[in-house]
Amino acid sequence: MNSKRRQYIPSRRRFFAALALATLALSGTPRSSEAAYAGTTAEATLLNVVKVTYSDASNTQSFEASAKTTVTVNLVRSPLIASAPPTDTDGSPAFNCPSPYSIDSGSSVSYLYALTAAANGDETYKLSMPVPTGSNVVIPTAASVHWYILDGTGAAGPADLGTRLLGAATPVGVKGSATAAEKATLLFPGGALAGFQDGDIVVVNQAAGGKKAYLVDGAPSVGNAAGHTPGTKTNGVIVSGMTDVAEVKGELKLKAFPALTISLNATDDTVYGGTGTPDFSANAPVVGEPVGEMILVKVTATATVNVFGADGTVSYSLNTTDNQDTNPTNLPAATATPVCPAGNFQGVGLTITKEVRNASVDAAGTFFASRTGNPGEFLEYKITVQNAKGKANAVRVTDAVPVYTTLVAGGTYGTEGSAAATDIFAKADKNGGAEVNLTVQSSDNEDAAVVSGNGTTGSLLAGQTLTFYVGTGNSNGAGGTVDNASIYHIYYQVKID
C-alpha cells in the first residue's frame, strides 16, 4: 500500500523532480460520453455500518449493537496521455509530431511534449528510450537523444530520469462559492488525496467541455476517511465502542498557471499556461474523471552528418509504462511506428573555385577558367568559397604563388612589384559586400568577419604559401565560421616573370 496516499509529505520530491498541470471542472456532473475512467480515487475507504436495536421481553430494557465493513478502492492503472503542451487557448491539444527543425551538423535540436496522468490515484511511471535510428549521420546511440522533465520555471532536471511519480485523484465536488479560495478548491475522498505538491501542474476536465491547466496552490489537505468503532449500548448508554468519525474531505487548492516561456532551438519561444484564477463554482469540473498531474518533457537530439553534401535525420521514441510495466504510452504516439523525426541536420558542403584574368588586358571583374599572358604582365586570381549546406567551422584556404611568377602588392592593391610589410597583397569580400584589404604582415588588423590573410614580409616568390582564414570569428591563425548561403571571394595578383 502506498503510504503517500495516506499522508501528504510537504517536502519537495528530489529524485522525482517535476512540474504539474491541472485542469478542473466544477460541480459534480459525470460525463457518460467520455471514455471509461475509474470513478473513485484509489485508497478511498468505503465504510458500511449496520446496527440492530431490540428490547428485552419486558420491554423495559433497550439494547443496540453495531458492526461494520470497510473496502479500500484499488488503483486502476492507466496509460499516460501524450500531447502537445497546453496553451491558454487550447488546454487539451492533441499529439502531433513537431515539424523538423533545420539545424547544423553537430548541433542539438529540442522538442517539447506533455504527459498527463489519467489513473484514479498516484502512480510511479517508467520512462525509457530505445536506441534512436538515423540516416546520413554518425550511427546514433542511446547518448544521442536525451529527455528532460522541466520544472515550473522551464529549467531542465536530470537527463534521462527513469521513473517519475505523478499525482492523480478523482474529485467529488467543490469546497464552496462564498470566497475565491473556496471557488478554487476541489474536494476529494477523505484520506485518499496524495501525490500532489505545491507548484505541480494539474489538468482538470470541465463539465462544459475541454480541459484547463492550473498550478497546485500550497500543500494539499489530505483529510480523513469516515470511521466507526463497533460496540453496544444499553438503554441509550454506550457500553463499548459505538463511536463515529466524520469524513473530512481532502482539499486541493489551485491557482492560475501563468505564461511560461521556454526557449527552443534559438529563436523558437513558446508560451504555455496563462489561464486565469479558477472558479469551479462557475466552471464545474467533471466529477468522476481524474484530475491528473502533467509534466512537460523536453527531448533533445544531437547528430553529426557523415556524408558529404547530404543532410541527416534522427528518429526517436520515448516510451512510458506504469510501475507494473503495463499500460504503455509512446512519444510520439502509440502507433505501429512510434517515432518522430528529430530535426533536419544539415550536412557540410563547401565548394571552392578558382578563376583568373589578365589584369593587363582584361576588364576588371572579368574572370576565366584559363588565360594567356606575356612576361611582365599582371594576373589576378579570384577564389570563391561557397556554402550551400550547414555551418562550416575552422575554414582555411591555402594557395601558393604560381611557378614563374612573383606576388605583387602595393599601397592600394597589386600596384608594386615589391611587398612591404604594410602593403596590400590581397582583398576579400563576403556576399559581394565591402572589400577587406589583406596586408602582408600577419599581425596587421583585418576584418575578422570576412577573411584574414597571412604572408611574409618582402617579395613572395613562386611556390610560397598563401593562407587565408575565412569566415566569422577568424584570426591570423584560425579559420572562422561560414554559414549557410554565404559566399566569400578572395583576390590576389602576381606578375609573370
Rounded to whole angstroms, the Cα distance separating 9 from 28 reads: 28
* In 337-411, beta strands by DSSP E: 340-346, 350-358, 378-387, 392-400, 405-407
Give me 225's grid cell: 476517511
Q: Which of 353, 354, 494, 489 is nearest to 434 (CA)?
A: 489
User: Would you state the pLDDT for residue 28?
Assistant: 38
Amino acid at 467: T
CA angle 313, 318, 321 (to 5 degrees): 160
* Nearest-angstrom CA–CA distance, 100 and 93: 19
Alpha carbon distance 95, 74 (integer Å):
30
CB 401 within 8 A of CB 441: no
The series of mean pLDDT values per 10 residues for the chain, 497 residues long, is 37 26 30 56 95 95 96 93 77 70 84 90 91 79 81 83 94 94 96 92 89 92 97 94 96 91 73 79 91 92 86 85 82 52 83 96 95 95 92 90 86 65 80 83 51 49 79 83 90 91
Q: Is 178 helix (H, G, I), strand (E, B) or coil?
A: coil
pLDDT value, residue 421: 58
Residue 295 and residue 180: Cα distance in Å, rounded? 27
Rounded CA-CA distance 124/166 in Å is 6
The Cα-based distances of 31 to 25, 34, 205, 206 in angstroms read: 11, 6, 10, 10
Predicted confidence (pLDDT) per residue in 427-462, tens digit: 889 898 888 888 766 554 445 445 655 444 344 566
- For the chain, domain boundaries: 1-347, 350-496
Element (H, E) at 83: strand 81-83
Q: Are 23 and 92 in contact (CB under 8 A)?
A: yes
- Residue 20 and residue 165 in contact, taking contact as beta carbons nearer than 8 Å: no
Q: CA distances (Å), 449 to each of 81, 103, 262, 481, in order?
A: 49, 22, 31, 9
Residue 24: the pLDDT is: 22
Cis peptide before 189 (omega within 30 of 0): no
CA-based end-to-end distance of the chain: 95
Q: CA 439, 441, 445, 450 torsion: positive or negative? A: positive
Provide the edge-to-edge strand list for the sheet that holds 133-135: 102-104, 340-346, 312-316, 133-135
**CATH class in words for 350-496:** mainly beta
Residues present in the chain in total: 497
pLDDT reported for residue 416: 58
Is the Cβ–Cβ distance between 114 and 95 less than 8 Å? Answer: no
